Amino acid sequence: MARRNIFRMRIAFSDCDPAQIVYFANYFRWFDTSSHEFFTACGMPSWRETLATRGAIGTPLVDVGAKFMNSATYGEDIEIESSVVEWKTKSFVIRHVARRGETVLAEGREVRVLAIRDPENTLRIKATPIPEDFRALCE
């Protein structure tokens, strides 16, 4: 069974919109944070370190999706469960489930690549094959 990580947080007033519920785009932010927490829990070095040792600057998203099942509001405690559900040569897929108790609030799916700074244009970035040791840590 795949490694998984649980990221716990409390919804803030500033996370909610005039409809008094979580502004949906915050779930993408939290899914991303949960991915970072997942990597850390797996023992991955920081991007600052991988940048120095391998030129890798992070795992930017190339395709992202989410379904929103139930709304939530400020003051509520939620948790996000994250795990890698698919590995390809240059990309991998992380699945997230956000829950308040037993209630599923949202499900997300991130397709990520491992990126290095584009040597031809340092304002841009490009994908690089995922090293075996990176995958081994997160599986």
| Shortest distance in whole angstroms from residue 93 CB to its own copies | 13
Q: Which of 74, 88, 67, 75 is nearest to 24 (CA)?
A: 67
Identified binder of its own copies from the candidate list 4, 41, 58, 137, rule CB under 8 A? 58
46 lines the binding site for its own copies (CB under 8 A): yes
Provide the token pair at 94. 């992380």
Known catalytic residues are 17
CB-based contact 5:37 (threshold 8 Å): yes
d(CA 39, CA 134): 10
Minimum separation from the CB atom of position 82 to its own copies (A): 14
Output DSSP code: residue 45.
P
**Which spans of this chain sit near its own copies (rule: CB under 8 A)?**
12-14, 16-21, 23-26, 28-29, 32-33, 36, 40, 46-48, 57-58, 60-68, 70-71, 73-75, 115, 123-125
